[in-house]
Amino acid sequence: MRSEQVKQMFEMYADPHASYGDIARYFAEQGINFGGGELRRSTISVLLRNPVYAQADLEMYEFFKTQGAAVVNDAADFAGTNGCYLYQGRDVEESKYSTFKDHILVLAPHEGLVSSETWLACRKKLMNNSAFGGGRKPKNTWLSGKIKCGRCGAALMLVNNTMGGAYFRCRRRADNKNCAGCGKLRAREVEDFIFDEMRRKMSQFQTLTKGSLSKANPKLTALNVSLAQVEAEIEKLINTLTGASATLMTYANSKIEELDAQRQSLMKRIADLTAEAVSPAQMERISGYLETWEAVSFEDKRLVTDGLMSTIKATSENIQIEWKI
């Protein structure tokens, strides 16, 4: 496989509207075969998840660190030139392409082909596809894969009653009765409520950014400010340790541990938000879709939902939305 073709696959998949099938069909139409046969979707999936093609810079370093990988090289070595290898630990059961926890990342001797921005965009999209149910394409509600039971966290499924109405039902409740259920949730009413909340949220977001969608995500900015404050407190405490008494030393060390835990939590939230950040162009597209919602396709409605929300927890009494912006 030529490097130009690998780069093209990543660039194509980074488009929110592109799928494995689109890539496979494109290469088939171009008459490009791989290993003597047509390019398979499984091959595309493995290739897009592999960091060996990425240009390893500080963005890649921070992403893998916060995702639980052990990074062998120093941060200063991540100059955006080389690719990197990801090794799976002997005692790790999960696939190295579904999680990076307890895996090992090391810089490779070869040069990377794909920018970290493109690789991370593809990784974010792959993670979202998993959240939507491993490639299944629901056709009944654009909330599928996002909406969860507000009591147990299990996925809500859409069911139709004999009167022709559609309702959400807790999958765990339906399978084994291990949940009290989400109550009576009419699908149309929930969709209308979520749509109104998306419009309200976008209006708030545009106000916070003074109407410009190209400015920084206010939520991300707030987290970075909190992180800077915590790090300043840690530095101040460290400076007081010189010549401190045993009692003060014990207190300071305990406080530093507490602040460090806060720092780690903030760093993870920042990394997660950065990994799933939506580009200004996508935000402009989302804003346009919300203005013409009835004419928007089912798949585009799902893309809007994914761009704005991480998850929705719902019961008949309450609906909670975890926003990405």
- Using DSSP, state whether 273 is helix, strand or coil: helix
Instruction: Give pLDDT, residue 91.
Output: 53
Residue pair 114/12 in contact (Cβ under 8 Å)? The answer is no
DSSP single-letter state for residue 162: T
Instruction: Give pLDDT, residue 137.
Output: 47
Task: Give me the residue label for tokens 């909330």.
Answer: 143
> What are the extents of the domains in the chain?
3-131, 147-211+278-323, 218-275
User: Measuring CA to CA, which residue among 206, 211, 209 is closest to residue 221?
Assistant: 209
CATH 1.10.287 matches 218-275: yes
Q: Residues of the chain whose pLDDT is less than 70?
A: 1, 34-38, 89-99, 128-139, 162-164, 207-218, 221, 241-244, 271-281
Is beta strand 70-71 parallel, antiparallel or unpaired with respect to 104-111?
parallel
Distance, CA of 227 to CA of 264 (rounded, Å): 9
Bridge partners for 86 per DSSP? 105
Distance, CA of 242 to CA of 245 (rounded, Å): 9
Instruction: Give pLDDT, residue 136.
Output: 45
Distance, CA of 121 to CA of 232 (rounded, Å): 32
Residue pair 47/9 in contact (Cβ under 8 Å)? The answer is yes
Instruction: Give pLDDT, residue 306.
Output: 80
Instruction: Give pLDDT, residue 162.
Output: 65
CATH class of 3-131: alpha beta
Q: Do 3-131 and 218-275 show the same overall fold?
A: no
What does the H/E/C string look like for 102-134?
Answer: CCEEEEEEEECCECHHHHHHHHHHHHHHHHCCC
Residue pair 96/88 in contact (Cβ under 8 Å)? The answer is yes
Going across the sheet that includes 309-314, the strands are 147-149, 309-314, 319-323
DSSP single-letter state for residue 34: B
What distance lies between CA 149 and its chain's CA centroid?
20
- Using DSSP, state whether 31 is helix, strand or coil: coil
Q: What's the full length of the chain, in residues? A: 325
Instruction: Give pLDDT, residue 135.
Output: 43
Distance, CA of 102 to CA of 100 (rounded, Å): 6
Instruction: Give pLDDT, residue 87.
Output: 83
